[in-house]
Amino acid sequence: MHLICGKKRILLPYSETPTIEIKDPSIREAGVKVLMKREDLNHPFVSGNKWWKLKYNLLEAGLQGHHTLLTFGGAYSNHIYATAAAAKESNLKSIGIIRGERTLPLNSTLRFALDQGMQLHYVSRESYREKETPAFHEKLRDQFGGFYLIPEGGTNELAVKGCEEFGSMLNTIQADYLCLPVGTGGTMAGIVKSISPRTTVLGFAVLKDAGFLEPKIHMLGGGSTDAEWKVVTDYAYGGYAKRNDIVTAFMRTFRERMNIPLDFVYTGKMMCAVFDLIEKGFFERGTTVLAIHTGGLQGGS
């Protein structure tokens, strides 16, 4: 599957991804079945949910005749990484507005973004807080000229639309529960819009103080679905992008046993939480749990 659009060639290849069964003594004991959709394998750099969040944004940028994408993120942002790669593949320029000061040497995320041709522009933490205001956008337009703006984390209506399409694809897999990690909530909002009502969606918040997420997901589309869904807030493991010993140990064992890499910000926390819930007997015997590997491994590192 390729995206090709109008005068500008928007090109983003997609590889079909497998659904595999995760086997473990604790899963067998609990009498449940655990599947994993390996969406991390859909593209080498624009991986997992980021592919789906960018899909319709890239098409729209092409339709509107834009030559440049502009977006926002922290120094380790998967979204910055994915947008830089997607722009390069689509022959679009890209600008990344990065929170905080430049530190050298650049970390591997920003190094990669720069190598993809992304222009990096650093702003102070105070200015960064203004990133959603029209005044700030106007300043950026004065500075950089015209661009197609994608918000921090990539969540907007078109991102939700892409994830809705992903969710309808997932309906070929019969599951009682669908589990995924949640940052801004855009991916979950799209999935709950199209998922079969037989499936309960559990989103695992990776940040602290995640009370804003349910109202936000409701607004982005969760309000118009028959499916049950819930944001689980007990498994942030110290907060956004914090390294946690339990999660780190879990990820190592998971990789050794299943040969599947997870990342410590999103999928590591989510799978660690799913195994904890399995051990606690949260999932009824005989049910099928589908976990989404949302990617984010930044080129397999």
Ligand X SMILES: *Cc1c(COP(=O)(O)O)cnc(C)c1O
CB of 120 to ligand X, least distance (A): 19
CB of 28 to ligand X, least distance (A): 27
Site membership for ligand X, residue 295 (CB under 6 A) = yes
Residue 25 contacts by C-beta under 8 Å, 6 or more apart in sequence? none
Q: Are strands 177-182 and 288-292 parallel, antiparallel or unpaired?
A: parallel
Residue nearest to ligand X (CB): 296
DSSP assignment of 224-292 equals G-SS-EEEE-S--TTSTT---HHHHHHHHHHHHHH-----TTTHHHHHHHHHHHHHTT-SPTT-EEEEE
Closest CB to ligand X among residues 62, 296 = 296
Site membership for ligand X, residue 221 (CB under 6 A) = no
Backbone phi, then psi, for 154, in 5-degree steps? 80, 5
Closest CB to ligand X among residues 62, 162 = 162
**Positions in 61-100 near ligand X (CB under 6 A):** 78-79
Residue with tokens 């956008």: 137
- Interface with ligand X: number of residues (CB under 6 A): 20
Choose the stretch contacting ligand X; rule: CB under 6 A; options: 67-75, 168-176, 182-190, 242-250: 182-190
Closest CB to ligand X among residues 95, 163 = 163
CB of 255 to ligand X, least distance (A): 16
Closest CB to ligand X among residues 30, 159 = 159
The one-letter amino acid code at 259 reads N
* Inter-residue contact 298 to 112 (CB < 8 Å): yes
* Inter-residue contact 22 to 276 (CB < 8 Å): no
**Positions in 19-48 near ligand X (CB under 6 A):** 48
The one-letter amino acid code at 173 reads I
CB of 213 to ligand X, least distance (A): 8
Site membership for ligand X, residue 181 (CB under 6 A) = yes
In the chain, which ranges are continuous DSSP H helix?
25-30, 49-63, 78-89, 108-115, 125-128, 134-144, 157-170, 186-194, 213-220, 245-258, 267-279
CB of 9 to ligand X, least distance (A): 26
Closest CB to ligand X among residues 188, 251 = 188
C-alpha pair distances (Å), 209 with each of 157, 169, 205, 236, 240: 24, 31, 9, 9, 10
Site membership for ligand X, residue 186 (CB under 6 A) = yes
| Binding characters for ligand X, 229-268, by CB under 6 A (x = yes) | -------------------------------------xx-
CB of 224 to ligand X, least distance (A): 18
> Within a 10 A sphere around the Cβ of 230, how many other Cβ atoms?
13
CB of 113 to ligand X, least distance (A): 14
Closest CB to ligand X among residues 40, 60 = 40
CB of 49 to ligand X, least distance (A): 5
- 3-class secondary structure, 130: coil
Helices 108-115 and 78-89 meet at what angle, rounded to 10?
20
**Positions in 265-284 near ligand X (CB under 6 A):** 266-267
Site membership for ligand X, residue 185 (CB under 6 A) = yes
List of residues contacting ligand X (CB under 6 A): 48-50, 78-79, 153, 155, 181-188, 266-267, 294-296
